[in-house]
Structure 1
Amino acid sequence: MTDRTLNGADGGDRTVKKNDRLVIAASSVGTVIEWYDFYLYGSLAAIISSQFFSGVNETTGFIFALMAFAAGFAVRPFGAIVFGRMGDLWGRKNTFLVTMLLMGLSTFVVGLLPSYAAIGIAAPIILVLMRLIQGLALGGEYGGAATYVAEHAPHGKRGFYTSFIQITATVGLLLSLMVILGVRSAIGEDAFREWGWRIPFLVSILLLGVSLWIRLKLSESPAFAKMKAEGKGSTSPLKDSFMKWPNLKLVLIALFGLAAGQAVVWYTGQFYALFFLEKTLKVDPSLSNIMIATALALATPFFIIFGWLSDKIGRKPIILLGCLLAALTYFPLFHGLTKAANPQLAAAVASSPITVVADPANCNLQFDPIGGTVFNTSCDVVKTHLARAGINYENVAAPAGTLAHVQIGAVTVQSFDGTKLSKADFDAQKKSWDAALTASLTEAGYPAKADSAQVNKPVVIAILFILVLYVTMVYGPIAAALVEMFPTNVRYTSMSLPYHIGNGWFGGFLPTTAFAMVAATGNIYYGLWYPIVIAVLTFIIGVIFVKEGKNVNIHD
């Protein structure tokens, strides 16, 4: 990297053309629409679960919905490889026109897709297929837009220029939340859950047309055009990126020293926080969307601020500090979120903590991939109820063969063994037992859902703002940091893969992994260990191995 460091202007005689603003605007608007399409699914995960995964139990259905959400992230690295290669061979502009078209059409199809009740197992299969197409498209889109803008930027302003690309993910999420809120308000919650959720997906076809029209006005990036004119392009960008150790080493450093930590901070602050509010704390979905949309709107300018600041002090210190702050404060912030968003739940946990006393051999993981498992042991009966209710509890081992029971403060609720009962008898006894446990929980102060009137909205928004502020720290400068690590002839391919492995795998699987960890342990905060560990590892690796690149000449 140091052999491309400049003391003066980046690219020497290159001047900033008048159309640079068009470049930033067109690239950013197009990318906003792609993120809007991609994150509609995340914003509607609970409804998607009921529409397309109704053939399994509720806990499994929600995990499946999150897995389908994560499926789009799983294939993003493959999209990065396929479209990154195209971008390095045939140009940045043409490649991200193709990715936008794929994204828009697959999103439109989701809006038309019949539910599980209508066409059975075909519904979730087609849904996952569309998510895979979306993931492939997004895997090629981001690297192209970030590289395209960075290669237009003058020296000393790459962080500032590319921060407008970084802002697009949050703006796309904010746009999706606003459209969802608008439709919800217009037709009502019942109609929205039945059919109105499709409208935001269908609207994407109009946005696709606008985005394609804008991007068709762009020309190829100057760095790519210069490279082609000089005959310096790579004929095998995949081999040059990943089969040659000097470049592969940079790819690994970019992944573990920057992208992985950035990803988990990003998805914790903007998605896991939303899932936590709705699924765990039982806050009304509309209110949750309003509060997180407000926090996003307040924090969004900081993408630009930290991008600009990274041109002054460097990308590395800002990104790594964001990872460290997130790791140190996630537990107190999410505990504070519980107290502010559902004070009744927080008070009940404090006054009447719940303990599940059971024989560990009697307890199964509350996850049923094929919908055929009957959770009928005495331990499963308890944990199924508590997982569905999103209630925090501790586990205590009991002697082998002991029937499980729930300790709610000083009150004991004995479970029952349903393994030898017929399905009809088990269902009847389970219904009666659920009612009894619900009554005991209610008496102990555990609410069925958060009371919107008691939600401390300013405090919740303030906590969400802090979470998103960490996002702006790690995400605002990341595009410039990655672009600066690699030469022009393999830049699109090389930067896209670590970014999308980080965001597609480490980040995209965060909601699924964290929710499964919570379901397995009964601790509603246990899932936070996943982003904390990854963020700490990135901080350590980044401090040791990542070199600052703000003065690198990216036109060589």
Structure 2
Amino acid sequence: MQSMLEQAVGGSTNASALQMSKSEARSAVLGASLGTLFEWYDFYVYGLVATVVAKRFFAGLDPTSAFILALMGFGAGFIVRPLGAVIFGRIGDMIGRKYTFLVTIVIMGGATFGTGLLPTYEVAGILAPVLLVGLRLLQGLAIGGEYGGAAVYVSEHAPKGKRGFYTSWIQTTGTAGMLLALVVVIATTFVTGDHFSVWGWRIPFLVSLPLLVVSLKIRASLHESPIFKKMKEQGTSSRAPLREAFGNWKNLRVVLIALGGVCAGQTVIYFTCQFFPLFFLTQTLKVDSKTANTLVMVALMIGCPLFVVFGALSDRVGRKPVLLFGLILAGATFFPIYKGLTHYANPALERAQKLAPVILHADLSECSFQFNPTGTKRFTSSCDVAKQLLAQSGANYETVGATAGSIATVELGNTVIRSYAASSMTPAESAGADKSFRSSIAVALKQAGYPASAAPTEINYFGVLALLVLLMGYAAATYSVVGATLVELFPARIRYTSFSVPYHVATGWLGGLQPTVSFALIAQIGNIYSGLWYPTIVIAVSTVVAVLFLRETKNVDVHV
């Protein structure tokens, strides 16, 4: 990384104008990137241990509800990201880029480390999930000011004609963060063995402390952005960045274009390409976690350099062509790629879905759309209970209306299995009914040819890996240009605020909730691929907005 950056800086005729040495350029990229690496590391660690978090912090619920509520830990942090963007974006435009992302990394790192110290439900009862969600909220606020500050800081240091290349290094940190998280979790699982679900899960959170110390030391040694320093010296920095950014239609229009044409499509692609595949492989296709983690890890290593490749390409051909390339290809091929993952990873499941269709008979009025971003609602009707279990089983099913007030039943061949209404039962009765229902469904699925897990001998590892790398390429094409594009769209005096808000509205509310929305769609429609409709529709809207309204920005002067 350093040698490539040295070549970039050494070949720039603009270095003296920026008053930036080679070491300062490398430090700017490294210091900014480590913070975003930290951000993504925590995100992926939490996702990788979500099943353990569900057991340790939501022990009073059934396994399905506990897992869904554990995923809501993502939602809690993501929902408040735009608020963090408003708070820290304003500080960044008024006080400085460096000071702001020093504060955000301390808060963010403290929340990550603190998660590893939390008492579990067995020890603290309801206080345990409350503290967990509280730390996720605190971290979400800090992250709201993190990425925007990093991208603005690097862009304002970058030589002319190199902003795509420079900021693309920050984009690699999402992939690097997931790779680091996978390595740490796999290593911890190997070392702690059966103790991982008891106390070993804490280690990945606790080992974030050294990363925080190193990141903080590097960031503290950095100089303020030369563009911001010049504005402060001349007295031209904004005194009311929020009003200037969102109270002025000329700038607000650009914010909306950035949100709809750049951030929305990019963020759902990123989550569908880099995060959702691991859930799909393990939860839906029943590939064992070690195999799935290894395949994703290798794909990440292969795909990570593509961010820099596409970032540098955008310096030559423009941000918009590279962005549209990724948007259009992803939107057109998500469904065949995920069907290909099923074909290569679990062909027995693919055969069973074709030969043994499942039918859910239920009173449609009691079937809920199981989207629950706050985690406050429980789905207890017999229809919802059946849908949750079938969605997790990997079975495609059709929902057929039944007599009003009747208990839902699952039909599989000649077997009919009765669901249960948890709302009319005591907790003990509900637990017993759930165990019996799960057991009956598992037996019926097995008899119909549905595999309990993907057979290692039937997995086409090369085929799965090739499709995962293709997904990584889509993520790289769209995400690589986001930092440079958003910086170039907005004037320097309100850049931090204008950049951060659309980015985190998209990341927090559109991308961060993608696993939850997709799971709800799968349960609602009854098809394991139906969750892909959400990113596909968002991508289509984003493509239209980008084509019609997004201007090319690669030659913009970011000093004004």
Q: Which TM-score bucket, shorter chain as reference?
A: over 0.9
More deviation, 391-400/123-132: 391-400
Q: Secondary structure at the match of 2:175?
A: helix
In 1, the alpha carbon distance for the partners of 2:520 and 2:224 equals 45
In 1, the alpha carbon distance for the partners of 2:419 and 2:311 equals 58
After TM superposition, list the pairs within 5 Å mapping 1:388-537 onto structure 2.
388-400=392-404, 404-408=408-412, 410-415=413-418, 431-432=435-436, 434-537=438-541
C-alpha spacing 1:130/1:380, structure 2 compared with 1 (3 Å): closer
1:143: how far off?
0.9
1:479: how far off?
0.3
1:96, 1:140 within 8 Å by CA — same for their partners in 2?
yes
Percent identity for Structure 1 against Structure 2: 48
Q: CA RMSD in A?
A: 2.4
Q: Are 1:23 and 2:28 counterparts?
A: yes
More deviation, 28-37/545-554: 28-37
TM-score computed with the length of structure 1 as normaliser: 0.92
2:18, 2:226 within 8 Å by CA — same for their partners in 1?
no
Task: Tell me the equivalent position of 1:4.
Answer: none
Q: Secondary structure at the match of 2:159?
A: coil
Gaps of 5+ in 2: 1-11
| Aligned with 2:140 (options 112, 132, 135) | 135
| Aligned with 1:257 (options 236, 256, 261) | 261
Task: Tell me the equivalent position of 2:342.
Answer: 338
In 2, the alpha carbon distance for the partners of 1:422 and 1:554 equals 63
Task: Tell me the equivalent position of 2:5.
Answer: none
Task: Tell me the equivalent position of 1:34.
Answer: 39
Q: Secondary structure at the match of 1:357?
A: strand
In 2, the alpha carbon distance for the partners of 1:528 and 1:418 equals 29
Q: Are 1:248 and 2:249 counterparts?
A: no
1:15, 1:154 within 8 Å by CA — same for their partners in 2?
no
In 2, the alpha carbon distance for the partners of 1:133 and 1:427 equals 34
After TM superposition, list the pairs within 5 Å mapping 1:270-309 onto structure 2.
270-309=274-313
| Aligned with 1:356 (options 334, 356, 360) | 360
C-alpha spacing 1:551/1:130, structure 2 compared with 1 (3 Å): same
Task: Tell me the equivalent position of 1:219.
Answer: 223
In 2, the alpha carbon distance for the partners of 1:344 and 1:265 equals 28
Task: Tell me the equivalent position of 1:347.
Answer: 351
In 1, the alpha carbon distance for the partners of 2:457 and 2:200 equals 26
Q: Are 1:325 and 2:319 counterparts?
A: no
Task: Tell me the equivalent position of 2:175.
Answer: 170
1:159, 1:480 within 8 Å by CA — same for their partners in 2?
yes
| Aligned with 1:147 (options 148, 152, 161) | 152
1:412 maps to a residue whose letter is: T
C-alpha spacing 1:535/1:157, structure 2 compared with 1 (3 Å): same
Q: Secondary structure at the match of 1:151?
A: helix
1:411 maps to a residue whose letter is: N
In 2, the alpha carbon distance for the partners of 1:264 and 1:29 equals 23
Q: Secondary structure at the match of 1:112?
A: coil
TM-score computed with the length of structure 2 as normaliser: 0.92
Gaps of 5+ in 1: 1-7
In 2, the alpha carbon distance for the partners of 1:182 and 1:113 equals 22
Q: Deviations over 1:227-278 (max 9, x none)?
A: 1122211111111111111111111111001001001001111111111112
1:380: how far off?
5.2
In 2, the alpha carbon distance for the partners of 1:367 and 1:533 equals 17
1:525: how far off?
1.2
| Aligned with 1:76 (options 81, 105, 112) | 81
1:95: how far off?
0.8
In 2, the alpha carbon distance for the partners of 1:105 and 1:303 equals 29
Q: Secondary structure at the match of 1:193?
A: helix
C-alpha spacing 1:359/1:311, structure 2 compared with 1 (3 Å): same
Q: Secondary structure at the match of 1:484?
A: helix
C-alpha spacing 1:247/1:10, structure 2 compared with 1 (3 Å): farther
Q: Are 1:553 and 2:534 counterparts?
A: no
Greater relative contact order (Cα < 8 A, sep 6+): 1
| Aligned with 1:113 (options 114, 118, 132) | 118
2:283 maps to a residue whose letter is: K
1:137 maps to a residue whose letter is: A
C-alpha spacing 1:445/1:130, structure 2 compared with 1 (3 Å): same
In 1, the alpha carbon distance for the partners of 2:379 and 2:407 equals 20
Task: Tell me the equivalent position of 1:202.
Answer: 206
1:226: how far off?
1.3
Q: Deviations over 1:96-136 (max 9, x none)?
A: 11111001111111001111222111111111111111111
